[in-house]
Amino acid sequence: MKDNRGFSLLEVLIIVIVISVVAGFGLSKTEAIFGYNAKEAYKKVVTTLSNGKVQTLSKSQLVSNNTPVKTGSSVTTKVKDDGVYIEIYVKGSNIYSKTYIKGIAENPDGVKIGEKGVVISYKLDDGTTGTLTEEEGHGLMFSYDRSTGAFLPYSGNKYITELTVSGGKRSYVIKLMPKTGKVVKVGKL
């Protein structure tokens, strides 16, 4: 006859420890992946905003006739055909950017700059803060002064002065200098 006494306390304890170690390893890898995605998105945001300034200054001969052009994503801000605009928005679980030059999107479908799990939040010069969501009209639109490259106001007379790109347990800060249009990588928090 077989002996069907089940598992001993020691055997159950060993199984629980093994499962805990495997689960802990899986969670740490997930955090690392989201942290990596945040760092990559951080780099892409800096590059996108810096390129916007360069494109604005190199196209200072743009002529303004102030014809509004509706953006192609969820942001309801109007883009005029007189300059360079950078739009950053959430679509699905990803973050995208579009660059508009003279009212025409260079990349009509957008360029993915952030993967699932990455969040971008912003701070205005009056202390107001917010987070990008997929909600209609809740993207960020950056535009530049054609003669100096300085950022133009985001809303009314308010400027975006800081962006934070987060994912996993990592956060990266970008400072924006409204008067000069400079994008400063502060780095990891």
Q: Taking phi first (over 0 means left), then psi (-120 to 50 degrees means alpha), and beta for anything else, what does residue 123 get?
A: beta
- List C-alpha distances in Å: 25 to 16, 30, 36, 58: 14, 9, 16, 49
pLDDT digits over 38-75, tens only? 889 999 999 999 988 888 888 655 544 444 344 444 33
Domain ranges of the chain: 9-188
pLDDT digits over 169-183, tens only? 889 999 999 999 999
Return the closest-CA partner of residue 45 out of 78, 93, 73, 86: 86
pLDDT digits over 16-35, tens only? 888 888 776 665 555 555 57
Structure token digits, residue 23: 């689960």
Hey, which residues does 162 pair with through a beta bridge?
123, 175
What is the enclosing helix (H) or strand (E) of 175? strand 170-177
